[in-house]
Each structure stands twice: as C-alpha cells, then as structure tokens.
Structure 1
Amino acid sequence: MEKCRVKALVVTRDRERLLARCLERLLNQSYPVEEILIIDNASSDGTQDLVSSLEGGRVAYHRLQSNQGGAAGYAAGLSELTQSDWQGWVWMMDDDAEPIQNALEELVRYIETNELRGCGALASAILTPGGIRDVTHRGWFNLSSLRQCPSPHDLYEKQDPFKVGYSSFVGLLLNTQAIRTVAMPRSDFFIWFDDVEYCLRLGEFYDIFVVPSSLVVHPNPLLDSSRRFSYGEFWKMYYDVRNTLIVGLEYGDSSAVWRYFLAIGLRRILGVVLFDDHKLSRIRILLRGWIDGLRNRTGKTLDPQAFVKRGA
C-alpha cells in the first residue's frame, strides 16, 4: 500500500513563542509530515525571523499583507496546498496547538487500514494543558437552535472512532480530494464559525470521524463558564453573533434565528448589563452583529486593532 502523505497547515499571528512549540511538536511526530505550511496573518513580532531559521527543510512560509483573520488564513493555506495535483491529507491547526508525538500516527493508522470508508476528514481529540478532555471542538450543529452540541465523553472513552457533524480546525486532517470537492473555507467570516460552516458543506459529501487515541493539547479559556470577555476582546462576540446568524439563515430557517435570539441573544445582553463594563458599547456590538448577520454582511467589518485602540 502506498504511504499516506500528509502536510500540516498552521495559521498564526503575533504568537512567536506558541508557534515555536507547535512547530517543534509537528517536526517531531512519530509519523513524519511531508511539509509544514505556515500562513502568517501579518505578524508584528518575531514570527518571520523564527520561520526564516527553519525554512528550507520541511517548513514553508506565506505571509499575508494584512491581518485577514483565521478564516482567510486557512482558506489561503488550503488553496496553496491544493493548487497542484498533489494528493494526500492536510493536517490543520492553530499556532497554540501542541499535538502529542503519536497524534498523526494514530490518525494515519485508520487511513491506511481503510477502516473508515467514505471518510473525508479525521479529527484528533483535544486536551487542555491541564489534561482535561475538551469536547467542545467536536460534535453536531443543531440547525433548529443554532447551537453546537458537543459529542459526549463516553464516546471518547470507548476509544473507537465515531462520527461527528462538525469539528474545529484544530487537529483536523482533511483529504485533498474532499477539499477540492467542497472548496475553501469562507474567508469572509474573518474568525469563528468558519469551521462549522465548512463542516456542514463537507458533511454533504463525506463523513467526519473523531479518533480518540489521537491527542492534541490546546488551551480553551471559554471552558471557564464564569469567565467574562474583557472589553478589549469583546469584538470577537460580534463575529460570533454575525457568523452564527449567517450559517443559520443559509442552512436553517428564520425561525431558528429568532429562537437563537430568545435563548442566547437576550441572555448575553442581560449578562452585559449585570456583570460588564462599557455596557452600552458592548450592547451596540452585539446588536451590530445581529444586524450584519441578518443582512449577510461579511468580511472584516469590525477591525480588532481599531476597536482596541478606541477602547483604550
């Protein structure tokens, strides 16, 4: 049987130290990656110098002219890796991901044995740096409520691969044939929900499986239910609301959008009123996300840097 060929895709911005750890883990996988393509969203730290010291071997580098967001970064990377007639698999992840040494080997094992027929993507299980299983990255998307429903812990404990309807891009291994069939992630989402939307398209043609024995360490501060977004990072909530609505209207119906508003939207506004500073500004951001989502207004419509400067 022909050896399974794998290239890794890492999207980064201004996280040189985390990227260095991610690259170290990728370069030392027990099943070697053929190439690591780094898409840099116009970093202003030492990222370029770090990558320059590694280029020429298995590391390739593509710097975008401006910060176009993680969604555009993944779209650019997948496009670059599938422009030629190269056939294989692309292992995607953020710059703060740290795959365990045999993570890729565990994924490839199921590809080479052909146990998972009709599979277009395999996903590693995610652990927090503290070793806690993070199930929020894999599951099913409920189009009636527009909510992500993570797969339960007991599926992981059985250690057998299981199907899901969505996966984040952290530790997702995509077949190039599937990529060419489904095309690229939506770069106009900027951040958040580009992975869910992509998996909804992918699921029309291929199955997505989670392999519990393949592990990737990745931090997720959102697991702390008591955590509140600081004002400086509240711009992310705009994209969360906007992109959720766009996905809901495209794949669901308008009634789901209003159920989402009653179940989630009003609760978020109440949370701002009770617990946060800059209350009026935060509420305006949420409402703007609703309006732009309903109008299908995409792109980098809220600039993070400008927002942070304005709030400083």
Structure 2
Amino acid sequence: MVKKLSNEEKVQVSAVVVTYNRLAFLKECIAALLQQTEKVAHIIVVDNHSAQETQDYLTSLGTKIDYLRLEQNIGGAGGFYSGIKYFAKKTQDDFVWVMDDDTIPAPDALKQLVAAAKIVPEVGFLASNPKWIDGSPAVMNVPMVAHPNWTNRLDAQQQLIAIKQASFVSIMINRSAVLKVGLPIQQFFIWGDDTEYTERIKRQFEAYLVPNSIVVHKMKQNQNVDIIQDTPNRVGRYYYAYRNRLYNARQRSNKEVLRYWIQLVTMIVKVLVKPNSGKFKKIGVMLHGMWSGLWFKPQVEFVQGQ
C-alpha cells in the first residue's frame, strides 16, 4: 500500500548518482544536489570502479555523501541496481531520486517532484523534465506519454502528464514501488534497464512527468544512440542494446516483438546501403544481440526483510 502524504509532512528523499570516470560532471551534479531548495536526506554515489582521482574526491566529501565503490564496472544498470538496493536496505527514506553523473538538476527540481508526490498519493514514480545544454528537450530522455492526446492531471500548483516509461535521468521512485516490484535488472549492463524498470513499475502504479522539475542532461550530442553514426570503438556495446530491446519487447506483447524484428531488418538494410565503415562488424553485433535476446531471462531480485 502506497503511503499517502500530507502537505505538511516532511518527505525524505535519497538521491542515487551512478558515476564512471566523469569527475567534472560528477562534481557539478553533487554540487547541484547539495544546493537543492528541498534538502536531500542522503546522497548515495555509486562509483563503478572509477580511476583514483574520482575515488579521492568522493572520499574527501566525508559524511556529505554515502559512498558506494564497486569492485568492478558493472555498467549503468548494475550501478542503479546497487544504488536503489542500498537505498532500500540502508535508509528509511520515502523516495529514491536517480540520475546519471552528467545530470544537473535545477535548484528546485526536487521541490517540484516532492510537491507532485503529495498531489498523487498512489504514484509509483515521477519524472523530471530533461533538457539538453541549449534548453531543448533531451532527445534520449523524454518520457513516453501514456495517452496519444496527452491526458493531463491538473492541479492549482502542478500540471502532471501521465507517462508509461522514463529514463534514469532524474526520476523519483516511491519506496513502496521498489519493495513491491523489485530492483532494476543489473544484467542489462547498459541501455534499456530504465525502460524495463519504469514499465514494470507502471504496470502496478501511476507515473507522471512533472514539467516544472527541470534537469539538464549534459550529453555530448542531443541525439538517440545510432550504431550507424557511432564511433568504431563503441560498436561492441550495441550488443546490449539489441539484446535488451528484444527482452523488453518480449515483456510487452507479440506485437512489440514483431515491431522489433521489423526495426532490426530495417537497420541491417540501412547499414548495408549507407556509406559507413565496419558494416559487417555492426551487423554481426546486432545479430549477436538479437540471438542472445531470445534466451535472455534474468531474474528480478527483491529486497528482503524491509
């Protein structure tokens, strides 16, 4: 049962930041969290085994943060799994606010999320409004609306838009949802873990975009991942993209699986006809990911004894 919050009640929120060797962004992100007008109860930084300079900086912060250093890099998915598990087991906070290390929240971003949580007591998660550095929408992170006509829930203080999935670039998840649906799937490694997790929550809870909660996602380029345009040294990671996409499609419906096959064939044709290097390596990575996706059956882990 989701706890109903009163307007006067103090809401306790843990922030989870996953980082890997992006110290400049990490410093800016933590500074923004410390400057929130709605105080963050715990700042949990999950370090995916970054280099020594990141470790030294995080150690220097002392009690300002909860520092969780992993023994190896287990990807963004493993980082969010570890951080949300830490939140559920080590704190009693009401919500966990998750983000990448290159996510910079506006000073009132958390205040807006907390205000929305008091409006919608049955909420599973709330998503911030992600922008790129020029103020345009962050293409990779725009939440997927639940209704084609953008059915809204209106309130004197907030306009909340019903959504059915969001990325881990600033979403605030209800503790009750974490305990009921389990943790993110760490075996995803990268890509698709946030889609799977937010869709899993949405099957049992409400979810909304909070337009007034602004964050800036400082990606190098404001575009979706694209195996055709990406650099050769990054092609191998698309194995996870195609494996995880097929897993997610299988969780939805046969129609979504069919859509996956159509998109895969379309992308293979594009790789073949467009001028780009390493065509057969790219196709091999996609097919390898697809094949693995047919047999990929990770188990959802639940937090025990909470």
Amino acid across the alignment from 2:116 = Y
Secondary structure at 1:268's aligned position in 2?
A: helix
Which has the larger displacement, 225-234 or 20-29?
Answer: 225-234
Question: Which of 23, 47, 55 is the aligned partner of 1:16?
Answer: 23
Q: Secondary structure at the match of 1:121?
A: strand
Q: Does the residue aligned with 1:209 lie in a helix, a strand or coil?
A: strand
Across the two proteins, how many residue pairs are aligned to each other? 286
Percent identity, please. 31
1:184-199 aligned at under 5 Å gives the runs 184-199=183-198
1:51 is aligned to 58
The answer to whether structure 1 residue 102 and structure 2 residue 103 are counterparts is: no
Equivalent residue letter for 1:77: G
Indicate how the Cα distance of structure 1 residues 260 and 81 shifts in structure 2: closer, same or farther if over 3 A, else same.
Answer: same
Describe the SS at the equivalent of 2:78.
helix
Aligned to 1:302: none
Matched, 1:33 2:32: no
Map of 1:292 onto structure 2: 292
Bigger mean CA offset, 58-67 vs 132-141: 132-141
Q: TM-score, normalised by structure 2?
A: 0.86
Unmatched 5+ stretches in structure 1: 142-148, 300-312
Tell me the amino acid that sits aligned with residue 128 of structure 1: W
The aligned counterpart of 1:258 is 258
The question of whether the paired residues in 1 share the 8 Å contact of 2:140 and 2:222 is answered with no
> Partners in 2 of 1:225 and 1:190 — Cα distance?
16
Amino acid at match of 2:101: D
Query: Which segments of 5 or more consecutive residues in structure 2 lack a partner in the other structure?
Result: 1-7, 300-306
Question: Which amino acid in structure 2 is aligned with residue 271 of structure 1?
Answer: K
| 1:164-243 superposed matches below 5 A | 164-220=163-219, 221=221, 223=223, 228-243=229-244
Output one character per residue of 1:245-304: Cα deviation in whole Å (capped at 9) or x when no partner.
Answer: 011113322x53233222x212322332213211111110011011111122669xxxxx
With structure 1 as the length reference, what TM-score do the two structures score? 0.84
Any idea what the Cα deviations from partners look like across 1:94-125, whole Å, max 9, x if unmatched?
Answer: 000000111111111222xx321311211110
Partner-residue secondary structure (3-state), 1:38: strand
Measured after TM superposition, the shift of residue 140 of structure 1 is 3.7
Letter of the aligned partner of 1:234 in structure 2? V
In structure 2, relative to structure 1, the CA distance for the partners of 1:241 and 1:131 (3 Å cut) is same
1:125 partner amino acid: N
Note if 1:76 corresponds to 2:82.
yes
RMSD across aligned C-alpha pairs, in angstroms?
A: 2.7
1:115 aligns with 2:119: yes
Q: Conserved in 1, the CA contact under 8 Å of 2:13 and 2:41?
A: yes
Measure the CA separation in 2 of the matches of 1:63 and 1:223: 30
CA distance in 2, matches of 1:181, 1:224: 31
Amino acid at match of 1:62: L
Query: Residue 28 of structure 2 aligns to a residue in which SS?
Result: helix
- For residues 204 and 124 of structure 1, what CA distance do their matches in structure 2 show? 20
Amino acid at match of 1:268: M
